[in-house]
């Protein structure tokens, strides 16, 4: 009985050894050579190319493009590759993933509220978030002197870092003369308020059809910007409206 069990154990052990030898031989002679000899590709240099061109170039050599992240970078245009992994020139297996970092261009910031601030305060506020002080226009008005009355871009408008924001500064009331500011691009309600504050009146309002601008946007004025007029003078305005069909 014991001899039969011992014989059975030896047979199983021998069979296991034979199977192990066969697996090792198959791995060394077939599996490993196949893996090592699988097709390889050289990773192309994609930095500075658009994402679409990078994808097409990787497809042509049977590599796969994967967007990893978008990074703000002033050196590269929006949508171009600024970094890649694996690096250019590296030899990789066919079908390997190539991770791409894409430029988001200049970082955008939102325009702060500058109204009521002095020029010094406004300049500090803009520079703190990466914007610059633009053109400063003077406007006679009843508002506090040397304070910003209006700004080029409304609060919350997204701008790229390094852009400039122009402002209109109150210089108090002139005795009997007013220098006309630029009303073009402002809304009718906003201009009416500015005229009233400058002791001027709204003259003839002429409406013109526009499909590209919002209704009630000033597209022209008479007298034009920079003219000196008397207090109480009228300013004619040319304002956009929807087409007759849309109305």
Tokens of 11: 């047979």
Q: What is the pLDDT of residue 4?
A: 62
Report yes or no: 68 and 99 within 8 Å, Cβ to Cβ: yes
Residue 247's pLDDT is 45
The residues, any chain, with a CB within 8 Å of residue 101's CB and separated by 6 or more, are 68, 69, 70, 71, 81, 82, 83, 84
CA angle 178–180–185, rounded 5-degree value? 155
How buried is residue 92: exposed, middle or buried, by Cβ count under 10 Å (0-12/13-18/19+)? middle
The Cα 123–Cα 178 span in angstroms is 26
pLDDT tier at 33, thresholds 50, 70, 90: low
Fold: same for 110-173 and 175-247 = yes
| Helix and strand element counts for the chain (H, E) | 5, 15
β pairing state of 64-71 and 97-103: parallel
Instruction: With a cut of 80, say whether residue 111 has pLDDT above it.
Output: yes
Task: Domain ranges for the chain, please list them.
Answer: 40-103, 110-173, 175-247
Q: Looking at the domain covering 40-103, what would its CATH class be?
A: alpha beta
| Separation CA 67–CA 49 (nearest Å) | 14
State the Cα–Cα distance between residues 56 and 62, nearest whole angstrom: 10
- In CATH, the architecture of 110-173 is 2-Layer Sandwich (3.30)
Residue 175: per-residue pLDDT:
59
What is the sign of the dihedral through the CA atoms of 113, 114, 116 and 120?
positive
Condensed to tens digits (0 to 9), the pLDDT of residues 122-162 reads 999 999 999 999 999 887 776 778 899 889 998 999 998 88
The listed CATH number (3.40.250.10, 3.30.230.70, 3.30.10.20, 3.30.1330.40) that belongs to domain 175-247: 3.30.10.20
């Amino acid at each position: 009985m014991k001899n039969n069990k011992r014989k059975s154990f030896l047979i199983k052990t021998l069979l296991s050894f034979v199977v192990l030898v066969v697996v090792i031989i198959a791995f060394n002679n077939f599996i490993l050579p196949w893996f090592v000899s699988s097709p390889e590709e050289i990773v192309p240099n994609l930095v500075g190319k658009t994402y679409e061109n990078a994808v097409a170039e990787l497809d042509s050599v049977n590599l796969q493009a994967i967007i990893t992240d978008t990074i703000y970078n002033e050196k590269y245009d929006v949508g171009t590759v600024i970094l890649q992994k694996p690096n250019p020139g590296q030899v990789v297996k066919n079908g390997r993933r190539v991770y791409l970092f894409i430029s988001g261009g200049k970082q955008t910031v939102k325009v702060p509220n500058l109204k009521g601030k002095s020029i010094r305060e406004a300049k500090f506020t803009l520079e703190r978030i990466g914007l610059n002080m633009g053109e400063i226009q003077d406007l006679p008005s009843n508002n506090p002197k040397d304070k910003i009355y209006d700004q080029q871009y409304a609060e919350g408008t997204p701008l790229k870092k390094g852009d400039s924001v122009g402002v209109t500064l109150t210089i108090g009331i002139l005795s009997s003369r007013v220098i006309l500011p630029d009303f073009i691009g402002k809304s009718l309600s906003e201009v009416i308020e500015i005229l009233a504050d400058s002791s001027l009146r709204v003259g003839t309002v002429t409406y013109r059809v526009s499909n590209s601008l919002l209704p009630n946007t000033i597209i022209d004025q008479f007298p034009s910007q920079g003219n000196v007029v008397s207090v109480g003078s009228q300013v004619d305005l040319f304002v956009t409206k929807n087409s007759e069909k849309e109305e």
